[in-house]
């Protein structure tokens, strides 16, 4: 067997190369971790700012609702009537829409039925013609 003797300098060179590669990998992973941490911190700050913005909007909405001037009774009654009439019209429009859809469906079905009847008549006519030709050819 051959005596595998690695010279001392080459051995230390291999150890140094492995150590350098290990250090490079560690530094790269450390950078990735730091980037991830900074991204998480940035997202946390964005979330906090969004929360603050939502709270401010909510407070503004509450302030506007509190500062609403009450309508006189007559205008409140008119507003109630308008809302009631609007609701009735919306229900009527929904009913009309469903009626229109139902009629369109019926019309489509009737049209399809008429097409099928015409097609059936044509098929029967062709069958009779073929029967006549078959009788003439068979005689």
Instruction: Note whether residue 2 is domain-resident.
Output: no
- Is the domain of 83 the same as that of 139? yes
State yes or no: pLDDT of 116 exceeds 90.
yes
> What is the reported pLDDT for 76?
84
State yes or no: pLDDT of 40 exceeds 80.
yes
Instruction: Note whether residue 87 is domain-resident.
Output: yes
Top pLDDT among 114 and 65 is at 114
Instruction: Note whether residue 1 is domain-resident.
Output: no
Instruction: Note whether residue 128 is domain-resident.
Output: yes
Instruction: Note whether residue 74 is domain-resident.
Output: no
Determine the Cα–Cα distance for residues 48 and 46; give it in Å rounded to an integer.
5
> What is the reported pLDDT for 102?
93
pLDDT tens figures, 61-111? 888 777 766 778 888 889 889 999 999 999 999 999 999 999 999 999 999
Contact 71, 79 (CB under 8 A): yes
Count of the separate structural domains present in the chain = 2
Instruction: Note whether residue 61 is domain-resident.
Output: yes
- Is the domain of 88 the same as that of 55? no
- Is the domain of 15 the same as that of 54? yes
> What is the reported pLDDT for 73?
85
Instruction: Note whether residue 59 is domain-resident.
Output: yes
Closest among 82, 77, 108, 101 to 93, alpha carbons compared: 101
> What is the reported pLDDT for 2?
46
Range of the domain at 37: 7-68
- Is the domain of 51 the same as that of 86? no
Instruction: Note whether residue 119 is domain-resident.
Output: yes
Long-range contacts for 11-20 (Cβ within 8 Å, ≥24 apart)? none
> What is the reported pLDDT for 35?
94
State yes or no: pLDDT of 51 exceeds 60.
yes
Answering whether pTM is above 0.85, one says no
Instruction: Supply 108's token pair.
Output: 């489509």
pLDDT tens figures, 4-24? 567 888 989 999 999 999 999
The full DSSP string for 94-129 is HHHHHHHHHHHHHHHHHHHHHHHHHHHHHHHHHHHH
- Is the domain of 101 the same as that of 52? no
State yes or no: pLDDT of 138 exceeds 70.
no
Domain boundary among 44, 68, 92: 68
- Is the domain of 63 the same as that of 87? no
Q: What is the mean pLDDT of residues 25-39?
A: 95
């Amino acid at each position: 067997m051959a005596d595998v003797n690695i010279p001392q300098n080459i051995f230390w060179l291999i150890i140094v190369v492995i150590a350098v590669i290990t250090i490079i990998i560690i530094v790269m992973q450390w950078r990735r971790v730091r980037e991830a941490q900074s991204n998480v911190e940035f997202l946390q700050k964005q979330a906090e700012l969004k929360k603050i913005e939502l709270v401010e909007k909510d407070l503004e909405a509450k302030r506007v609702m509190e500062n609403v001037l009450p309508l006189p009774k007559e205008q409140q009654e008119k507003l109630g009537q308008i809302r009631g009439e609007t609701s009735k019209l919306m229900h009527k429009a929904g009913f009309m829409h469903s009626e229109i859809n139902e009629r369109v469906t019926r019309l489509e079905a009737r049209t399809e039925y008429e097409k099928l009847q015409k097609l059936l008549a044509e098929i029967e006519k062709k069958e009779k013609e073929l029967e006549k030709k078959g009788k003439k050819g068979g005689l």
